[in-house]
Structure 1
Amino acid sequence: MDLDAYVAAHLAEWRRLEELTRRRRLSGPEADELVERYQQVATHLSVVRTSAPDATLIAYLSSLLSRARNRAAGTRTGTWAGVRRFFVGRFPGALYRLRWWWLGTLAANVVVTGVMILWLLGHPDVEQSLLSPEDVEQLVSHDFEDYYSEYAASHFAAQVWVNNAWVSALCIALGVLGLPVVWLLFQNIANLAIIGSIMIRHDHAGHFWGLILPHGLLELTAVFVAGGMGLKLFWSWVEPGELTRTQSLAREGRTAGTVALGLVAVLLVSGVIEAFVTPSGLPTWARVGIGILAEAVFFAYVFVLGRQATWRGETGDLDAVLLEDRVATQA
């Protein structure tokens, strides 16, 4: 490549980007132009590095891109607008893009839980090996219900929120390894299946479902979303597709951060329901109805707002202007 000719052809674009980075204020069209010029110059830097690696020019373009990236970040909308965009765009967009991963995780766990409960009901000797008759009586008559009213509602909501956020965070953090996520999910549903089978066998099925469903629908869905995200993170380096393994893992890792942050809010809602609705004096149908409503709102959030967000190009990843350009950093 003729480096002098290449510089002459694109110097005006570089000077224009430099001018935009120096302006104190940018109008809306100028901010859009800044992002567009940034992407163009990033491509130019990639070409120079690959075809005519001139150290001086590479240093200049790298410095220019760094200033442009910082300037673009500085022209972004305010804090509340950023929060709004997160919950209207990035988070639902990530959930919708990854829907088959967490829906598959959800379906598999529901099926396994159902099979485990049926198997345990057909094998009462397993219950006897796990708990003594006195322990079973205590669980059925007192412990299961008392769990939801042992502490003040506000304290219990915080406790539940922290616990479930921790489980979800582990699913995502250990996702790159794959198998630990499966083990965490299995432990979660095994406890549910054991307690459920004991309550059902002792004629407390209505009591069990009446206390589990109000908060459990949304709570377990959030955990399954985290599990699905963790498995996707694992698969991103096993089968990276058109990206390199590093790029694929980095992209899904950033998306995992988006999902983890969004799930904090989802689990806060389920924690509030578990603390204030589950142990309340409302009739069972009303408490279960609130749980179903919360779950329906979540699915509407994903499949309405999430779908619209993906149409606008949201994936759950960070904006390009906040990242080191992937193309530009390839040698």
Structure 2
Amino acid sequence: MDLDAYAEAHAEEWRRLAELVGRRRLDGREADELLDLYQRVATHLSVLRTSAPDPHLVAHLSALLGRARGRAVGTRVGTWAGVATFWTARFPAALWRLRWWWVGTAAANVAVTAVMILWLLAHPSVEQQLLTPAEVDQLVETDFAGYYSEYAASHFAFQVWVNNAWVSALCLALGVLGLPVVYVLFQNVANLAVIGSIMHRHDAAAEFWGLLLPHGLLELTAVFVAGGVGLRLCWAWIDPGPRPRSQALAEAGRTAGTVALGLVGVLAVSGLIEGFVTPSGLPTWARLAIGVLAEVAFVLYVVVPGRAAHARGVTGDLDATLLEDRVAVRG
């Protein structure tokens, strides 16, 4: 390839991109032009790397693209429109695309919890090894219900939100390792099964479910989503398919980041329910109805905007305009 001819043919585009990058403010038309030029110049750099890798020109265009990328991110992402797109398309699309991972995780955890409760009820000696009779009485008569009203509702809601966000973050952060996610989820359901079996054995099942389900439906769903997406991250490393393992893991990791950010909002809702609804004076049926409505709203959120966004090609990964540097360094 004739390097001088190629540079002369595209010099005006490079100059224009540098001009737009150097401006303090861009209107809508100029912002769109910057993004278009960014993608074109990224392709030019890819061609140069492959056919005529002149080090000075490659360094110049790489630096220009780096500045343009920073400007493009500020133009497209740092807006309320980007926030709205995240909640209406990117996050629900990720949930829909990965639904079988977290639905399967939820089903497995519910089944394990049910089996553990039934087993513990059939083996009362295990309870005696875990807690003394006095501790059991205290749990049933005061501690379980008192846990939800011990602190001011606003402080308790924040505490619950932080705790559940931490559990979900662990599932996502440890996802690439696989087994730690299984361990975190098992610890979560084991504690639930132990307390549930004790409450059932001592004729407090109605109180147990009446206090757990209003917030627990949405809260546990969020934890299971984090666990399922974490396991998907591990699977991307084990079986990357036709893509390079690094690329498959990077894509799964970026989508996991989308889910992690979205779950912050979901867990905030469950924390508010646990802080203000669960310990409230509302009748049990009303508290349960609020919990069921929150869970149904989440499912509809995944099915309706999530499925629609996925059908439009949204995957939960970053927007393609933010990933163009992959083209620029190919060679």
- Residue in 1 that maps onto 2:162: 162
Distance 2:74 2:212 in 1: 46
Distance 1:32 1:304 in 2: 30
Q: Which amino acid aligns with 1:48?
A: L
Distance 1:56 1:2 in 2: 16
Distance 1:262 1:206 in 2: 32
Give runs of aligned pairs for residues 275-286 of structure 1, distance below 5 A: 275-286=275-286
Give runs of aligned pairs for residues 1-331 of structure 1, distance below 5 A: 1-22=1-22, 25-76=25-76, 79-323=79-323, 325-331=325-331
Cα displacement (A) at 1:89: 2.5
Cα displacement (A) at 1:4: 4.2
State the SS of the aligned residue for 1:266. helix
Distance 2:87 2:56 in 1: 43
State the SS of the aligned residue for 1:326. helix
Cα displacement (A) at 1:268: 1.1
Provide, for residues 131-181 of structure 1, a one-character-per-residue CA deviation record: whole Å limited to 9, x for no partner: 222222221122111111111111111111111111111111111211100
Q: Which amino acid aligns with 2:314?
A: E
Distance 2:242 2:20 in 1: 34
Q: Which amino acid aligns with 1:115?
A: V
Cα displacement (A) at 1:15: 4.2
Distance 1:262 1:46 in 2: 35
Cα displacement (A) at 1:252: 2.3
Distance 2:263 2:74 in 1: 27
Cα displacement (A) at 1:22: 4.5
Provide, for residues 180-224 of structure 1, a one-character-per-residue CA deviation record: whole Å limited to 9, x for no partner: 000000000011111111111222211111111000000001111
Provide, for residues 221-273 of structure 1, a one-character-per-residue CA deviation record: whole Å limited to 9, x for no partner: 11111111211222222222343222222222222222222211111111111
Q: Is the 8 A contact 2:42 2:324 kept in 1?
A: no
Q: Which amino acid aligns with 2:177?
A: L
Distance verdict in 2 for CA 1:97–1:46, change over 3 Å: same
Runs (4+) of structure 1 exceeding 6 A deviation are none
Cα displacement (A) at 1:323: 4.5
Give structure 2 stretches of 5+ with no counterpart.
none
Give structure 1 stretches of 5+ with no counterpart.
none
Distance 1:207 1:199 in 2: 8
Q: Is the 8 A contact 2:31 2:72 kept in 1?
A: yes
Larger mean Cα displacement after TM superposition, 164-173 or 134-143 = 134-143
State the SS of the aligned residue for 2:255. helix
**RMSD between superposed Cα atoms in Å:** 2.1
Distance 1:98 1:241 in 2: 16
Identical aligned pairs, as a percentage? 73
Q: Which amino acid aligns with 2:228?
A: G
Larger mean Cα displacement after TM superposition, 149-158 or 83-92 = 83-92
Q: TM-score, normalised by structure 1?
A: 0.92
Larger mean Cα displacement after TM superposition, 104-113 or 91-100 = 91-100
Alignment: residue pair count = 331
Cα displacement (A) at 1:111: 1.3
